[in-house]
Amino acid sequence: MIEGGYTVGLYTSPHLVDMRERISVNREPISREAVVEWTSELRDSIEQQNASFFEACTAIAFADFAARAVDVAVVEVGLGGRLDSTNVLSPDVSAITQVNRDHTDYLGDTLREIAHEKAHIAKSDTPLVVGERDPELVDEIITVAAGLGARVSVVPEERLYDGELRLRGCHQRRNAAVAERILECTPQRLAAGDVAAGFARADAPGRFDVRGKWIFDVAHNQSGIEVLVDVIREHPPRRPLHALVSILKDKDWMNMLGTLSAHVDCIYLTNAPTAPRERQTEYDITELQLPCTIIHEPQFDTALREVRYGAGTVLVTGSTYAVGDAMSRLPGFAPLG
């Protein structure tokens, strides 16, 4: 969209180091002064509504986009679906890239229940682009969306974007194919060259983000680790490959470690300091039988220092907290400097 001459607001979550990463216009993050100004102006409403941090950030983002008169706002949902605070929008187009088992305490225990909740971002007489490939889940999304009066556009299962793409991995080619369909459904029209230029330039900090001998990936659940492993196969890093891993306790950490361990040479298992204490994992690795060396180092800073010894490449993964805490401690690696 930016390549087409539009002013584009982008709202994403979570952030890695600085909350200003969540809100940008034409790739420029919101200023500290604007955050202070909007927080002051909206504070009474935020407190009266007992708004969560995410809800407060959403209000600040929408206010900032309106004040800066963006032509297009790209808004990522939080939990994703019916109860999400971003769902107050009346969008030109909505999209569901895929359905994973996450936020089960809010969205449901099964993938079908989660798909049902996510489908409620559909709006009457508005396109809903669906990138999910599982036929059962697609059917559930179509059923809900049809009941809401949306116009559903399902991206064919085999469709992958085949142009130049800065983001690594087959899953990113699938995501780009979904984005391409979204652009086809928007009122704004972009030239093919502008679309290609945008995809060639697009990046996402913390998504198989290669910085010299370091790789940062926010894979935080089993499906995310499986995708990460696929990208490691596609783009083999220099060995030995050491991994610094911090996983939240509500995730399937043992299976995640089992999947990752077959593709790295050593794992340093720790807890990210910024992760809420009640979500930090009490690891018990005494019964784990893994094909690589595993070292439990409770002190994050110690693990971050020692994981690089003898490594050809260091992978940081397991949670957004792990990636953010590592980037904040490595000079020049934080997304906003």
DSSP 17: S
pLDDT score at 107: 74
Structure-block tokens of residue 266: 């050593």
* Whether pLDDT at 186 is above 70: yes
pLDDT per position as a tens digit, 288-322: 899 999 999 999 999 999 999 999 999 999 999 99
Rounded distance between C-alpha atoms, residue 292 and residue 295, angstroms:
10
Rounded distance between C-alpha atoms, residue 12 and residue 328, angstroms:
19
pLDDT per position as a tens digit, 94-130: 999 999 877 666 677 899 999 999 999 999 999 999 9
Rounded distance between C-alpha atoms, residue 330 and residue 333, angstroms:
6
As a whole number, mean pLDDT of residues 24-39 equals: 96
pLDDT per position as a tens digit, 253-282: 999 999 999 999 999 999 999 999 999 999
Kindly report each contact of residues 293-297 with a partner whose C-beta sits within 8 Å and lies 24 or more positions away, as own/partner: 293/265, 293/266, 293/267, 294/257, 294/261, 294/266, 294/267, 294/269, 295/266, 295/267, 295/268, 295/269, 296/269, 296/270, 297/268, 297/269, 297/270
| Percent over 70 (pLDDT), the chain | 99
Dihedral of alpha carbons 246, 248, 254, 257, sign: negative
pLDDT per position as a tens digit, 217-266: 999 999 999 999 999 999 999 999 999 999 999 999 999 999 999 999 99
Nearest to 286 by CA among 277, 294, 297: 294
pLDDT per position as a tens digit, 192-208: 999 999 999 999 999 99
Residue 252's Cβ-count burial label (10 Å; 0-12, 13-18, 19+) is middle
Specify the 3-state DSSP secondary structure of 334. coil
- Distance of CA 273 to CAs 53, 211, 230, Å? 19, 22, 28
Q: How many beta carbons lie within 10 A of that of residue 75, not counting itself?
A: 18
For the chain, the C-alpha Rg in angstroms (whole number) is 20
Rounded distance between C-alpha atoms, residue 271 and residue 4, angstroms:
43
pLDDT score at 83: 86
Residue 137's Cβ-count burial label (10 Å; 0-12, 13-18, 19+) is buried
Amino acid at 10: L
Can you tell me which residue has the tokens 């206010």?
63
Q: Among 65-79, 101-115, 137-151, which is the least confidently predicted range?
A: 101-115
pLDDT score at 2: 87
pLDDT score at 106: 67
Give the mean pLDDT of the chain.
Answer: 95
Dihedral of alpha carbons 37, 43, 49, 50, sign: positive
Give the torsion through C-alpha atoms of 14, 15, 21, 24, to 10 deg.
Answer: 0
- Distance of CA 169 to CAs 196, 217, 233, 327, Å? 17, 12, 9, 22
Give the torsion through C-alpha atoms of 200, 201, 206, 212, to 10 deg.
Answer: 90
Q: Which residues pair with 245 in a beta bridge?
A: 269, 317
Rounded distance between C-alpha atoms, residue 327 and residue 337, angstroms:
10
* Whether pLDDT at 337 is above 80: no
**H-only helix segments in the chain:** 32-48, 53-67, 104-107, 111-118, 135-147, 170-185, 192-201, 222-234, 253-261, 300-306, 320-329
